[in-house]
Structure 1
């Protein structure tokens, strides 16, 4: 592991901030309000991604889908956005991040360089992260972005549906970890689900 782990976590964290900042700022939500929550989830995502890539390479294809799902649940359980809008916001945030990173690769790098030269890969992550946060913050400060009445599309009994889905995900993930003997590779995802389940139950209990 060593320094590879340190550099991976550091630059992936910077990159993760871009995704979450673009996702929230684009829909006129202040990323700074959820900074520490985002940091915890981003670190868990990065840990899961690193372990999957380094220790369970056969499951690396699941990483993008898992990251997407975690972000959706983050918006639904912690930011309290209805499920439909959480899906839409996550899609827009990742699309904006991918577009920004693609533009940087086209202008300054090449795909081959980024994949084969670690320094250039880290530089790309750093630039994407910093520019993503600055662009999102700039749009937010200028009052540019999408504004919707989120509550209009909140499904009745949605909180129960989300809690049930999280429990089902935890069950199947635990079963997968046991049957495939990949406890390390998916532990970050499992912890995220437990955190989301805690927030879902806690906040619904407080509100009721």
Structure 2
């Protein structure tokens, strides 16, 4: 039995949790408010990232799909306006990327791109260090009162629910395209579950309102 999928999913989970905490800290959001839906989506992110990695031609769209999932998470579940959800998701995602770049630069070549390619365990080490620093730093930053506070509602689009449903619909069309390309069925299923989850949540939230 190969432990590679287990290792990939575990360390990727650490990364996405760190990104989630960084986003929440930067914009004074409570990470525990939607922690269980967030963990569910993070698990689906891990699965689709792993199977996309097997298809090198599609690797480039992995960050795009992950950011899209974060956008929908904050828009549909936390009810943050769509535009702001996009802004905070992109900022949090790239803040984590910059943290990893900084760690690579100060490793004196130990965690260089070539080393990470030749030694997967060093990649796991980088993921662990950056995730621990990201989560720990985000918590300290939040407790010290750091972060931006905005009135998100001022930037809510008119008929925003229509845009959200359209975005979810386009995402589901993406999964159909992946299936057409002959991509891994498990990958298509995981992405489909994510967007069906968001569609359910969107309808439920609108009914509650």
Q: Normalization by structure 2: what TM-score?
A: 0.93
Distance 2:68 2:84 in 1: 13
CA shift, 1:30, in A, is: 1.3
In structure 2, which of residues 114, 117, 141 is the aligned counterpart of residue 115 of structure 1?
Answer: 117
The count of corresponding residues between Structure 1 and Structure 2 is: 205
Distance 1:148 1:195 in 2: 28
Distance 1:89 1:113 in 2: 32
Distance 1:179 1:160 in 2: 27
Partner of residue 19, structure 1 = 19
Structure 2 gap ranges (5+): none
Contact 2:18 2:132 in 1 (8 A): yes
Bigger drift between 109-118 and 132-141 goes to 109-118
Superposed CA RMSD in Å reads 1.4
Is 1:181 aligned to residue 149 of structure 2? no
Distance 1:88 1:28 in 2: 14
Distance 1:2 1:35 in 2: 30
CA shift, 1:2, in A, is: 2.6
Distance 1:178 1:15 in 2: 27
Structure 1 gap ranges (5+): none
Partner of residue 200, structure 1 = 202
Report the 3-state secondary structure (helix = DSSP H, G, I; strand = E; otherwise coil) of the residue aligned with 2:106: helix
Partner of residue 162, structure 1 = 164
CA shift, 1:68, in A, is: 1.1
Q: Normalization by structure 1: what TM-score?
A: 0.93
